[in-house]
Amino acid sequence: ALITDEAWTRGLILNSEVDLSAVTDVRQNLLLQGLLTKDPDDRWTAHEVRRWLKGEDPPVVRPPGPVDQPSAAARHAHRPISFRGVAHHEAENLAAEMARHSQEAADWLQGDGGPRLAAWLRDDLRDTSYDDSQLLTLRSGRDRPVRAALAALSFVAVFAPTATPQYRGRRVDAEGIARIAQGQGSVAFVDELLGANVPAVASRFRCYHSGCDEGACAVLLALAAELADTVDAVRGRARSLRRRGS
């Protein structure tokens, strides 16, 4: 694993509010909310814990949930484009569907979906916010599965930036990449993510970490830099072992 459970937990608490939705026991959930509040000054102390043990409900300081800003009206194409058998008139709706089915989206773009989507954006929507030239070169090359997956991710980043970034069926926001790095045999996939510049694209999605601006997720970019150093160290160690064995 490239990231230990301890490092992952520490980073999660420091950089974001911990998702406790999986803790279904109301009392336990309240206790964890109080103890894991992001700002140390707002966390429960022994006083609140004693009140909780008595069956009371001490208050928990939580920041207000993110509020989506209203966006400009989506452009409506008279001629729809179909993905997974569903017709879409707006790029925003198509992008949301591609985010939910990222591997299918990449496969679609490798086939006739790439040229069709480029033509639809150009001729029907007349939208130039997405660089559609990358959609026209996905039918050849050994690395086309990677390029197609990246093109799908880029499309979603432009038209559905509030979605959770997905790459080849895997979540690739800061939390998702950290989980990937924790898995056994993760070096090859993390190397692919870094080589394809996936974190840079995924960082354009909206995140809610304190300290991140609207232009990029600083937490994700910092994690990517740390992983790049780790992968380089792993490669160096492997080369050293090969030299010793020769």
pLDDT tens-digit map of 100-113: 999 999 999 999 99
**Domains in the chain: boundaries:** 18-53, 81-245
155, pLDDT greater than 60:
yes
Would you tell me the crossing angle of helices 174-182 and 187-195 to the nearest 10 degrees? 140
Average pLDDT over residues 57-68: 63
pLDDT recorded at residue 236: 64
Higher pLDDT, 58 or 108: 108
pLDDT tens readout for residues 161-199: 999 999 999 999 988 888 888 877 777 888 899 999 999
68, pLDDT greater than 90:
no
∠ Cα 48 49 50 (to 5°): 90
Q: Give the CA distances from residue 211 to residues 8, 64, 92, 94, 225, in Å, rounded to whole numbers and listed in that order.
A: 19, 16, 27, 31, 17
11, pLDDT greater than 70:
no
Structure tokens at 84: 């997974």
pLDDT recorded at residue 70: 39
Total residue length of the chain:
246
Distance, CA of 28 to CA of 175 (rounded, Å): 23
- Using a 10 angstrom Cβ sphere, with 0-12 exposed, 13-18 middle and 19 or more buried, the burial of residue 46 is exposed
